[in-house]
Amino acid sequence: MSTYKERGVMFPGDIVPRSNLELLKTFDIRDDDIMLITYPKTGTWWLHQVIKQILAEQGVKDEKYLGNIPNLIEFTLPVIGPLAEVVKTAPSPRVLATHVPVEFLPDGLLGSKAKDLPAEVKKLCSFLEKPLSDEEVQTVVAATQFDSMKNTLGEKGQVFTRKGVIGDWKNYFSDDQSRAYDEQYRERLANTGLEFQFQ
């Protein structure tokens, strides 16, 4: 896979060509867009599924623009093309996602794993101004359990999901890699006021 660096950030050229970063500069943000701005492998797909289920409980279903895979607006997909172009015609509310840093996103645009999923769904409903009954919340919770979501995608689930286990990163990072990460974390987030809990 070819890569390139733009403003200090490495991008996979095959799925995020430079031309897509240009598209993002003028991407038209709507007031009712729901935008997930996340790092890769931090629960983007999971949160997308939660929001999709919340909207479904309110009668919003759109298999063309609101499928099982997040609409990562910096991506280009085979046959489909740049998603930033594709979602221009999507009906509101659009559920969009991106992994790029905010400095690559248009002006005017500004998740952790929940231990108490029903409470987190209610908070998300409140934030989205999409109220649900307790029964509807439980429907969302059932549909967004890790195994349920993985089964929804079938074989694709192997690509977009891992184990759904908190702390599983320890099985992949060596001690040296973990220390290097901690050093970078302390250096880059110093004086930002941001604090994260890790397991």
Active site residue 99: yes
| Number of other residues whose CB lies within 10 A of the CB of residue 60 | 16
- Strand, coil or helix: 167: coil
Catalytic site residue from 48, 52, 94, 99: 99
Distance of alpha carbon 84 from alpha carbon 87, whole angstroms = 6
How do the residues of the chain divide into helix, strand and coil, expressed in percent and rounded to 5? Answer: 45, 10, 45
Using CA atoms of 81, 82, 83, 88 in order, give the dihedral in degrees to the nearest 10.
Answer: -100
Tally of residues, the chain = 199
**Is the preceding omega at residue 78 within 30 degrees of 0, hence cis?**
no
Under 8 Å between Cβ of 52 and 43? no
Kindly list the catalytic residues.
99
